[in-house]
Structure 1
Amino acid sequence: MKKLLLWLLLVLATPAMAQHSGADKTKVLFVGYDPAKPLPDMKRYAPGMMSEKEFTAEYPVRMPAFKALLSQYFAEVKTMDCRDWKPEDSAPYDVTIFDFPTNVVEPAKQEKDEKGKVNYISARYLPDDFSKPVVFIASTADQMGRRIGLKLDWLCLCLDADAHHLNSQHAIFKGPLEKVVPTMVTKQTPDGIFHYATGADVPKEIPMWRVQNTGYLDGKGVRIGLVSRGNRFSESPDVEMISSGVCQKDVGAVALGRHGNFFLWGFGASPADMTEEGKKVFVNAVAYMKQFDGKTPISRKYNDRMATTDDVREIIANVTKKSYDDYVSELKTFNEGNAKENKRLNDKKAAGQALSPEEEAKLPYVGRAQEIDSWETYLKRRMGKLAGRFGNDGPAFQKYLSDNFDYIYCDPDGFFDYSIDEDVQQIGVPNHSVKLLETCVSMLKKNERPELALKVLKRYTGEGFSTAKDWSDWLTKNKKKLFFSETNGYRFIVNTYSK
């Protein structure tokens, strides 16, 4: 064990990095699993959604690898077991890195609202007002950030080893510790991108940047990375989308991004398996986050299952025969693969060979074929509550939504629920435009349909004023600071960062 740790320290301290030792005064706290402590309980699954074998093999290596890399650049680096961390432990440090989730402060629960709807409340790991800069590794971002409304949510635990569509001009490639010109290699575009309307114009091959040496798609049992939803990700001034990555989702899925004082490093590898460029950009990201101390998110996202206008665009684009044919082809391929895996596992079992815990867990599921909808059922599902109005007339459905796109309202508490806001439609001004608020205030002043104006103002601001003067004063004061957030209440929000 001691030889392994010594080897890691020597390998990670390359000449190029050694010259930076102690160069940055940033104090860093790394929170993960301390290999000096016993392994955590893995009765249900291993941390990081790894297999027990993979997690156990990496357990003695992971924290020392991060410690060695960070110590080459930062004046003070402390490591702490995630089972011991408390919010006050981060107070003396400029940046905290969470490699794995800490202890749950409040367990997940279900609550019924006044309408009888059951709502799932995620487990709490952090206080709502936690303001210290944070870097999350992979799935830890969603696990710890969901309760406090971070956009660093769990779209898919399927991020491999390469980044693409990256903003190479972003500060984390410029420094402050290392300047990195990402080595871009043209590779085949992930197939998942082409299953989305946003992938229509993406070439079959795109430039990619290798972040870690080994990906889970290589079949070598490494920690899988996380991508977050890109839909309306960058709608607010407290957010930065830096890069997507190789995964099964759309081209806008977020692999590297920031929301307030929280940063998503979606890739799962420790420095022991990062590329040299990946290591440098990682330490740059840690140093970059120091400036966001106290810059908590302005806009929060508490329902990752709400629809956005990006989702509606996808629905409009997919109500076609071509999209249906792609859907049928995709499900047939999935079912064929499932059937093969089911046969493999059952043959292995019949031969008297023991299945791994992971194989045992998936055996009940791989034998189930996904039902393929008919064209009519496919249309009905995508049209949702508008199916009764348009039947099998896809073009009419598309035209209706396209013609009324400026009035689409997505229910922030719903499950991918959207509608046309007929109140705004009557006024005739797009609901994402500040002009709507100006028009409604003007209507109040002139006593033109005041009930309608007041209803719309309250819906799209969350404010409760009742007089034209109060609304006018509020709008005059905040007009230049307003931005529209779909994911935080589907309303206008004041940019509190703006002076």
Structure 2
Amino acid sequence: MKKLLSFLIVICCALAVYAQKKQDLKILYVGGSSNYDTFSSRPDSLLLVKSVKERMASFEKMLKRYFKTVKVVEGKDYRQKMSDDYDVTVFDGLFPAIRQKSYLYDDNGQVKDVISPIYFTDDFDRPAITIAELGEDLGRSLGIKSDWYCLCLDADAHSWVKDHPIFKGPFPVKLNVSLQPTPAAAKEYAKISAEVLPDSILMWKVQNKGYATDKGFRVGMVSRPNGYGDPDDEVISSGVCAKSIDAVALARHANFFHWGFSASPADMTPEGRQVFANAIVYISKFAGQRPVARKLDERITTRDKNLVKGMKYTLSRKCWEEYCKTNDEYNQQMEEMKKETLAKKAKGEKLNQIEEISLIYQPMKNPSYAMFLKQREPEMYHFFGEETGLYVRYYEINYPYFYGQGFNLAVDEDARELGIPNNDKRLLDTAIRMLEEGKDVEKATRILHHYTLCRFETPAEWRKWYDTYQDKLFFSEGGGFLWLVNTQDKTVPGNDYHVLDTVNVVKVESPSVVKNETDDNNPVLIEGKLNMLENGKQELAIRIKIHPGYHIYAKISDKDPYIPTTFDFQLPEGWKQEGEMQLPSFTQLDDNGTTVYTGECVFRQTFEGKGSGEIKCVIRYQCCNNTICLPPVEKELSFSVK
């Protein structure tokens, strides 16, 4: 009887979903993505085509269940003006760009910079939902905050805003919530901010499949939490991923809704489908809006609330001791593996690649405390040495005057001299008063140009603007450390980013400039050289230089979603590879077993053959540091053989 009752309850719930009233909204779905992970693997092209069709059909079926009017198109057929005829556009595939992705080359023909594509005009104001990495791809040129923090979002959501409308309706939602272990990566990241997370947190499953349980399944994307918090955005939920506890899985910025999870409706849970449908209804209410605070520099550093607290830990002797302890433990593990591998080799048994690598593994040397500090704060170490308290004091004193300068925080000397924090409106008022009184006009102008998007000619114009809109002004760190006006009125001065020469401008460097050094904008430098060996064979040496603090991936654990460094060779007729590639030593990344390359690494591959032609090497890698994972990169090198 109990089984029969349970069965009837399930049937009634299912019928309730089908019987719920359709929303009178017109939905356009733009497809083109598959259910496969195409970043770290290369699925068969026929399987990809089949998967794209199945995914589009799944979305069409689901959307028609919830909404009265649904149109499905492939990305190749979509144009921006089509969204004008629909209440919401769901983007699940790329479409033809207005400006294509382009490259800047050095004198050697090597790529030294990538210019992102543009998919929308600046005035695009139709409600949109972007799925997984489409948030980064489509929103980058508009400054949408759904940027690429990490392509590592799995299947479960946590830390959601429980009273948010998407969990309330119009379609009823009953979340199947359970207490689950806190993601290990989140705990590691918490240490950077000197936070302690609980051992378990509440979660609900958004989709039935994920990269952790289904190898090769499409991976979701989380956005950086820093930069949110302005009037035109909202963070709704985080999710299980390989980043911090507050990595953004669900969010809204202006007319864009970031749905970071990757599954099609066929692989969503019932509550996942309900919440997704509610998200469509919710974003439809933001028709006509455009982002006010535009995050045009996705890597901009903001003032984390735990910045000073985190510095106290990351520069402490305790942190250094824990770092050394972890190194020692990993060195011991690798030494044991090396002994086992040598014994296996002595028996004549075949070794796998990991075992081969263990034979050349070089133990990680622990840095002195001084070197540890120098690696983390190279510029300030020159002044403060091993006096940890001085570093912390520096951050405490200058916290109100920091502004983001790429990956770093810089001190605004003008604001510090006036003693007014840059996120205090009094700074603008004071600068305008300085103009009015003719006092230190150069400094006043510098402040106003630094922190606003206005370029008035007279003090009277500045005063009129400030007095008129001061109650609507807000300070946006993610938007560029700017004072902006909280309005959608395009005629109001102060929100036009085009006054900055960084908006959609292709910066062409002199072709005589060749980048031989890495930096935060170019953390990986790759070059190769083909050498003739004494035996007549050719050895290709590929040198990869990685900027301090960054890494690329060697061996990836099944529990991690990262992308390994791979080398694919295309050889001319008459040539072949000889033996396995000689790999450099590596270091441990996490307790899951993932290993990484850091510093300067050399990869060697021998070839033998006859005849002339070109050896092509396609290198694929992903570069990360402790705070971000950059999108995967593919680089091709060519070498002539005779």
- Which interval holds the TM-score relative to the shorter structure? 0.7 to 0.9
Q: Shift in Å at residue 351 of structure 1?
A: 6.4
Are 2:222 and 1:227 equivalent residues in the alignment?
yes
> Higher strand fraction: Structure 1 or Structure 2?
2
Contact conserved, 1:155 with 1:228, CA < 8 A, in 2? yes
Residue 266 of structure 1: aligned partner: 260
Q: Shift in Å at residue 170 of structure 1?
A: 0.5
- 1:219/1:312 CA distance change after superposition, 3 Å: same
Q: Shift in Å at residue 468 of structure 1?
A: 3.1
Q: Quick check: 301-310 or 435-444, which moved more?
A: 435-444
**Bigger radius of gyration:** 2
Q: 1:429 aligns with which of 420, 425, 443?
A: 420
- 1:352/1:336 CA distance change after superposition, 3 Å: closer
Residue 247 of structure 1: aligned partner: 241
* Paired letter, 2:23: D
Q: Shift in Å at residue 333 of structure 1?
A: 7.9
1:7-42, Cα deviation, whole Å (9 max, x unpaired): xxxx9x942221136x2111111111399xxx9xxx
Helix, strand or coil for the counterpart of 1:72? Answer: helix
Residue 496 of structure 1: aligned partner: 487
Contact conserved, 2:193 with 2:311, CA < 8 A, in 1? no
d(CA) in 2 for partners of 1:339, 1:89: 61
Are 2:276 and 1:292 equivalent residues in the alignment?
no
Helix, strand or coil for the counterpart of 1:452? Answer: helix
Contact conserved, 2:315 with 2:388, CA < 8 A, in 1? yes
d(CA) in 2 for partners of 1:391, 1:225: 42
- 1:375/1:82 CA distance change after superposition, 3 Å: farther
Contact conserved, 2:193 with 2:313, CA < 8 A, in 1? no
Contact conserved, 2:28 with 2:72, CA < 8 A, in 1? yes
- 1:109/1:337 CA distance change after superposition, 3 Å: farther
Helix, strand or coil for the counterpart of 1:292? Answer: coil
Q: Shift in Å at residue 486 of structure 1?
A: 1.6
Contact conserved, 2:127 with 2:255, CA < 8 A, in 1? yes
Q: 1:321 aligns with which of 314, 317, 326?
A: 317
- 1:88/1:368 CA distance change after superposition, 3 Å: farther
Q: Shift in Å at residue 435 of structure 1?
A: 1.6
Are 2:269 and 1:275 equivalent residues in the alignment?
yes
- 1:467/1:90 CA distance change after superposition, 3 Å: closer
Residue 154 of structure 1: aligned partner: 148
1:388-420, Cα deviation, whole Å (9 max, x unpaired): 221222221111111221111222xx3x12222
Q: Shift in Å at residue 340 of structure 1?
A: 11
Q: Shift in Å at residue 106 of structure 1?
A: 2.1
* Paired letter, 1:208: M
Give TM-score scaled by structure 2 length.
0.64
* Paired letter, 2:446: K
Contact conserved, 1:338 with 1:368, CA < 8 A, in 2? no
Contact conserved, 2:300 with 2:480, CA < 8 A, in 1? no
Equivalent pairs counted in the alignment come to 457
Are 2:233 and 1:212 equivalent residues in the alignment?
no
Residue 99 of structure 2: aligned partner: 106
Are 2:419 and 1:420 equivalent residues in the alignment?
no
Helix, strand or coil for the counterpart of 2:285? Answer: helix
Are 2:120 and 1:121 equivalent residues in the alignment?
no
Q: Gaps spanning 5+ residues in structure 1: where? A: 1-10, 40-44, 113-117
Contact conserved, 2:88 with 2:129, CA < 8 A, in 1? yes
Helix, strand or coil for the counterpart of 2:63? Answer: helix
* Paired letter, 1:381: Q
Residue 632 of structure 2: aligned partner: none
d(CA) in 2 for partners of 1:430, 1:136: 36
Q: 1:442 aligns with which of 428, 433, 436?
A: 433
Contact conserved, 1:182 with 1:277, CA < 8 A, in 2? yes
d(CA) in 2 for partners of 1:52, 1:451: 59
Residue 16 of structure 1: aligned partner: 16
Q: Shift in Å at residue 443 of structure 1?
A: 3.2
* Paired letter, 1:440: A
Residue 66 of structure 2: aligned partner: 73
- 1:72/1:328 CA distance change after superposition, 3 Å: farther
* Paired letter, 2:240: V
1:213-242, Cα deviation, whole Å (9 max, x unpaired): 2221124432111100001212x2110100
Q: Shift in Å at residue 55 of structure 1?
A: 4.6
Residue 94 of structure 1: aligned partner: 87
Q: Shift in Å at residue 75 of structure 1?
A: 0.4
- 1:435/1:333 CA distance change after superposition, 3 Å: farther
Helix, strand or coil for the counterpart of 1:29? Answer: strand
Q: Quick check: 416-425 or 382-391, which moved more?
A: 382-391
- 1:460/1:301 CA distance change after superposition, 3 Å: same
Q: Shift in Å at residue 110 of structure 1?
A: 4.5
- 1:194/1:462 CA distance change after superposition, 3 Å: same
d(CA) in 2 for partners of 1:127, 1:58: 31
> Higher helix fraction: Structure 1 or Structure 2?
1
1:363-409, Cα deviation, whole Å (9 max, x unpaired): 9xx98998875533332232243222212222211111112211112
- 1:126/1:464 CA distance change after superposition, 3 Å: closer
Give TM-score scaled by structure 1 length.
0.81
Contact conserved, 1:166 with 1:244, CA < 8 A, in 2? yes
Contact conserved, 1:48 with 1:139, CA < 8 A, in 2? no
Helix, strand or coil for the counterpart of 2:89? Answer: strand
d(CA) in 2 for partners of 1:183, 1:97: 26
Q: Quick check: 281-290 or 200-209, which moved more?
A: 200-209
Alignment RMSD, CA only?
3.6
Contact conserved, 2:31 with 2:72, CA < 8 A, in 1? yes
Are 2:57 and 1:64 equivalent residues in the alignment?
yes
Q: Shift in Å at residue 244 of structure 1?
A: 0.7
Contact conserved, 1:34 with 1:81, CA < 8 A, in 2? no
Residue 78 of structure 2: aligned partner: 85
* Paired letter, 1:285: A
* Paired letter, 1:90: S
Helix, strand or coil for the counterpart of 2:267? Answer: coil
Helix, strand or coil for the counterpart of 1:146? Answer: helix
Give aligned-pair identity as a percent.
35
Contact conserved, 1:50 with 1:224, CA < 8 A, in 2? no
Helix, strand or coil for the counterpart of 2:77? Answer: coil
Q: Quick check: 122-131 or 262-271, which moved more?
A: 122-131
d(CA) in 2 for partners of 1:76, 1:352: 59
1:120-154, Cα deviation, whole Å (9 max, x unpaired): 42122222222211111111111221122211011
* Paired letter, 2:177: M
